[in-house]
Amino acid sequence: MLPSSPLLVFFCFFIIFSATSTTATDHIVGANKGWNPGINYTLWANNHTFYVGDLISFRYQKTQYNVFEVNQTGYDNCTTEGALGNWTSGKDFIPLNKAKRYYFICGNGQCFNGMKVSVVVHPLPPAPSGSVSSSNHTSPASAAPVVLQKGLVSFRALVVAFASIWFGSGWI
């Protein structure tokens, strides 16, 4: 009988998903500096490429800071009016499910001290194909791998988030 442990579960998920070619990335805002005032998050974001299905993670002191997803006006003016999302756990994993520009700010006034980041999320790159088709016709059968690939990326993002929460990552 196998021992029942979280580590065993993690390794099972790891083995299952390491065989596929597309992986979701967890982008930790500010890397080892986390979500804090006085950091150039524009520079950080410009050094990352974000794809649909990736995660953006914020790590911070939950008693001091928070994260709001806002529109461009909220981002430019550091306001949370009409916010699209609000996170306060100190270890926030936010899925990037659409190809678009996302705007995040700290809602307790620290946005004015640089705690804001904007990222552009790109569509998934097309799956590699074995042959080039001269036809523009797409059959439902040929569309299935793309749907399956997107579903796996989203599921993998959830697995990464679950594993990070379950095992912790040494952050605050």
User: Over the range 120-144, which residues count as b (16 or more CB within 10 Å of their CB) and which as e?
Assistant: ebeeeeeeeeeeeeeeeeeeeeeee
Q: Please give the Cα distance from 14 to 121 (Å, whole number).
A: 25
Fold of 26-122: Immunoglobulin-like (2.60.40)
Q: Please give the Cα distance from 94 to 69 (Å, whole number).
A: 10
Residue 164's closest CA among 5, 3, 10? Answer: 10
- pTM score: 0.64
Instruction: Name the stretches of the chain with pLDDT < 70.
Output: 1-22, 130-172
Q: How far is CA 12 from the centre of its chain?
A: 22
Q: Is the Cβ–Cβ distance between 107 and 62 less than 8 Å?
A: no
Q: Please give the Cα distance from 65 to 61 (Å, whole number).
A: 6
Question: Is 54 buried (19+), middle (13-18) or exposed (0-12) by CB count in 10 A?
Answer: buried
